[in-house]
C-alpha cells in the first residue's frame, strides 16, 4: 500500500468519528496501545526525538531495501501519533519516505485535538523519520 493510500485509510477511519474530539483522542490512544513494544535497550537518549514535549524514542532499520521503524513514548496520545507515522512510513523505501508528503493531520482535523506543543513534536517525529530515510539512502548510494 502506498503512503498516500495509507493516509486515505487513516482519514477514512477518523471520518467515522464524525469530528468528535473526545472520540478522536481516545482512538488515537487506542492506536498507541497497539504499537508493537520497543526493546527497552533502544530507549536511549541517542534514540530520543528532539523537539517533543513528551519523551519519544525512535529507531529504524532497513530490510530488503525498505525502512522499518520502531518507537515508543511516555504518553498515550504521543504514542498514538507516532504509531500513525509508523503505519504511513514503515515498509517503504528511503526515496518513498523522503518524497512522501504527510497530509492526513489537516484532513482529520488533528489540530483540534492536539495542542501546539504536540504539533511541534509531531513535526519533529516526521523530520526524524525522514532523516533516517536520508541516511539509509545515502549509505546505499555510497555502497553502490
pLDDT for the residue numbered 141: 80
Q: Of 7-11, 18-22, 81-85, 128-132, where does mean pLDDT reach its minimum?
A: 18-22
Which whole number is the average pLDDT over 45-62?
Answer: 94
| Rounded percentage of the chain residues whose pLDDT exceeds 90 | 82
Quick check: 94 and 137 in contact, CB under 8 A?
yes
Work out how many domains the chain is built from and give that number.
1
Candidates 33, 34, 59; CA nearest to 44 is 59
3-state secondary structure of 143: helix
Q: Which residues are catalytic?
A: 52
**Domain range for residue 91?**
3-143
Quick check: 21 and 103 in contact, CB under 8 A?
no
Q: Are strands 66-73 and 56-63 parallel, antiparallel or unpaired?
A: antiparallel
Grid cell digits, residue 2: 502506498
Residue 10 pLDDT > 70? yes
Q: Please report, for the domain that includes residue 80, its CATH number.
A: 3.90.1010.10
**Res. 143 pLDDT band, cuts 50 70 90:** confident
- Find all residues with CB under 8 Å of 94, minimum gap 6, and list them: 62, 67, 133, 134, 136, 137, 140
Which whole number is the average pLDDT over 96-116?
Answer: 91
The residue among 142 and 121 whose pLDDT is bigger is 121
Residue 144 pLDDT > 70? no
Amino acid at each position: 500500500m502506498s503512503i498516500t493510500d495509507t493516509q486515505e485509510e487513516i482519514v477514512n477511519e477518523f471520518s467515522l468519528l464524525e469530528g468528535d474530539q473526545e472520540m478522536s483522542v481516545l482512538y488515537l490512544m487506542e492506536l498507541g496501545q497497539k504499537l508493537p513494544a520497543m526493546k527497552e535497550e533502544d530507549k536511549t537518549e541517542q534514540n530520543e526525538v528532539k523537539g517533543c514535549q513528551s519523551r519519544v524514542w525512535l529507531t529504524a532499520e532497513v530490510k530488503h531495501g525498505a525502512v522499518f521503524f520502531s518507537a515508543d513514548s511516555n504518553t498515550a496520545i504521543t504514542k498514538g501519533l507516532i504509531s500513525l507515522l509508523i503505519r504511513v512510513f514503515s515498509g517503504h523505501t528511503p526515496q518513498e519516505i523522503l518524497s512522501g508528503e504527510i497530509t492526513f493531520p489537516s484532513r482529520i482535523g488533528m489540530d483540534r485535538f492536539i495542542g501546539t506543543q504536540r504539533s511541534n513534536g509531531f513535526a519533529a517525529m516526521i523530520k526524524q523519520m525522514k532523516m533516517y530515510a536520508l541516511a539509509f539512502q545515502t549509505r546505499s548510494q555510497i555502497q553502490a
